[in-house]
Structure 1
Amino acid sequence: MNLLVKSAAKGRTLVQLPEGALEYVGFSAYRLSLGESLPVSAGDKELCLVLLSGRIDVQGQAPQGAFQWDNLGDRQSVFEDKSPFAAYLPPGSQAQVSALSEVQIALCAAPGDAAAGLGPRLIRPEQCKRSVRGKGANTRYVCDILPDSEPAHSLLVVEVRTPSGHSSSYPPHKHDTDDLPHQSFLEETYYHQINPPQGFVFQRVYTDDRSIDQAMAVENSDLVVVPKGYHPVSVPYGYESYYLNVMAGPKRVWQFHNDPQHSWLLDL
């Protein structure tokens, strides 16, 4: 399986995870022009809409009732030092996203539980926890959009900005074994953007037995699929990295295991 999904240069769909590529995680990203609309239907999934850039209106219907959120958005690039607007939509929801400017938006999906009774909710920038992870050339900036401390059935969503010349998701770690409290099983996707956009980053996905071992040059708006294994990212000098992570699995807990060959890096 090729773990790199290339983005489309034209059209409404920027990139989309192929159907059946993962059991738990679904992902797509879209570009909308002013006045254009995007219909969204959750079906039996739960969704998290992440407004990457631009301004939108959202209106729709969920089993719990109608919802409408107007004039959302205050960043024009994911590289601005701002948290995003996002929205959680439970199973059975339908919505219409209307673009009030040029827009980029991500649609994150995972198995839902209609019986849980979770309603649709707007996630405002001030609700997103921001933190700094790592040190030195391993420093990166994290924004939790839908962490395991907030209500959902399966979905975990986070975005990360990594400066020029830095590493990220590093030392290499994995979360592909159901062995709590030591490690949880979570599939993952990485949606990448690069600044300036003609740049690239490197990402490797590998397992201990090397049954998976792919090293990829990832360009702007590409998607990397992580069914299992370690998945570090390296950012070349002169370019800044952004990625949006979507994780889901049988248990909604993020507990990872560092590659023992590289865990010594944590002592530096």
Structure 2
Amino acid sequence: MSNLIRKAAAYLPNVDKKSVINLTPSDANWDYIGFEVVKLQTGQSYKLDTQHQEVCVVLLCGHVSARAGNQSWEQFGNRKQIFEQTKPFALYVTTQTIVEVKALSYVELALCKAPAQGKYPTRLIHPDEVSSERRGYGNMERFIHNILPDQALAEHLLVVEVFTPNGNWSSFPPHKHDELRLPNETQLEELYYHRMTPSTGFAFQRVYTDDRSLDDSFSVEDQDIVLVPKGYHPVSATPGTELYYLNVMAGPVRQWKFTNEPNFEWLIQPSR
């Protein structure tokens, strides 16, 4: 099996653990992105020391109270499950900070991490601050929530969530961001955390380079992780399966600049 996919079956049997996924940059064999998924029952808490990292805590579902350093926020959260497609709350936490989240209901959290120097303050990201957009058309249409876009204050992290209707393609036309060639392209590692409804559904993802020195394709199931160190990385949802993925990107320059796969670039401007 490709080392670019981390199957949910490898970690989900750890039912007694609050942190069901904890991927470090060393685990992924890259420099920036760390990623953790935490599941809490009502009344449980989870505490993290950010150390030398900035952390974007995305409230995937549930209601919580939280404390980070000398700041606190009471009773926030606005979706019971991911596929309500409402904009999420998130918490940006700077370096050298203890953050603690207490569950007021069943809760799923995604902790997106990258090395940082502590340039920007901790803050709550309210749904009103999360922009939304539609990308693509026809069977390439998908819907975006920009949680931590490149206009927002952060050092390396970019975080976005994507909802892809059943049977549609996403991250399409294929594009890449693995070379630092400003103003046209930036070098960004990328992680996909996939969720599906129904949870028995599946999707496909391909990661490949122009010279095909990297060319991996695999089926993706609910709660699988796909790593994209370089290359193009399109996704397709099977008929009957609604696909969600949380995208985490990070690199030396915090801008999302990409190059489209030349063979598919013509699809960007459809003839009407």
TM-score strictly above 0.5: yes
Question: Percent same amino acid among aligned pairs?
Answer: 45
Query: What residue number does 1:124 align with?
Result: 126
Q: For residues 148-195 of structure 1, what are the alpha-carbon distances to aligned partners after superposition, in whole Å with 9 as ceiling and x for unaligned?
A: 111111110000000011000001000000001010000000001001
After TM superposition, give the deviation of residue 19 of structure 1 in Å.
4.6
After TM superposition, give the deviation of residue 225 of structure 1 in Å.
0.5
Contact 2:25 2:32 in 1 (8 A): no
Write the letter of the residue equivalent to 1:193.
Answer: R
Note the aligned Cα RMSD (angstroms): 1.2
After TM superposition, give the deviation of residue 209 of structure 1 in Å.
1.6
Query: What residue number does 2:61 align with?
Result: 53
After TM superposition, give the deviation of residue 18 of structure 1 in Å.
4.5
Match of 2:172 among 156, 170, 175: 170
Query: What residue number does 1:193 align with?
Result: 195
Contact 2:206 2:235 in 1 (8 A): yes
Contact 1:24 1:110 in 2 (8 A): yes
After TM superposition, give the deviation of residue 93 of structure 1 in Å.
1.1
- The answer to which of 12-21 and 190-199 deviates more is 12-21
Query: What residue number does 2:33 align with?
Result: 25
Structure 1 position 13 matched with structure 2 position 19: yes
- Taking structure 1 as the reference length, what is the TM-score of the superposition? 0.95
- Measure the CA separation in 2 of the matches of 1:127 and 1:194: 25
Residues paired across the two proteins, number: 262
Structure 1 position 81 matched with structure 2 position 85: yes
Contact 2:18 2:46 in 1 (8 A): no
Match of 1:153 among 147, 155, 163: 155
After TM superposition, give the deviation of residue 17 of structure 1 in Å.
2.3
Query: What residue number does 1:67 align with?
Result: 71
Contact 1:44 1:112 in 2 (8 A): yes
Contact 1:51 1:105 in 2 (8 A): yes
Query: What residue number does 1:107 align with?
Result: 111
Contact 1:202 1:233 in 2 (8 A): yes
Write the letter of the residue equivalent to 1:5.
Answer: R
After TM superposition, give the deviation of residue 40 of structure 1 in Å.
1.3
Match of 2:100 among 87, 96, 107: 96
Contact 2:25 2:33 in 1 (8 A): no
After TM superposition, give the deviation of residue 15 of structure 1 in Å.
2.6
- Taking structure 2 as the reference length, what is the TM-score of the superposition? 0.93
- Measure the CA separation in 1 of the matches of 2:108 and 2:46: 11
- Measure the CA separation in 1 of the matches of 2:68 and 2:268: 46
Write the letter of the residue equivalent to 2:54.
Answer: E
Structure 1 gaps, min length 5: none
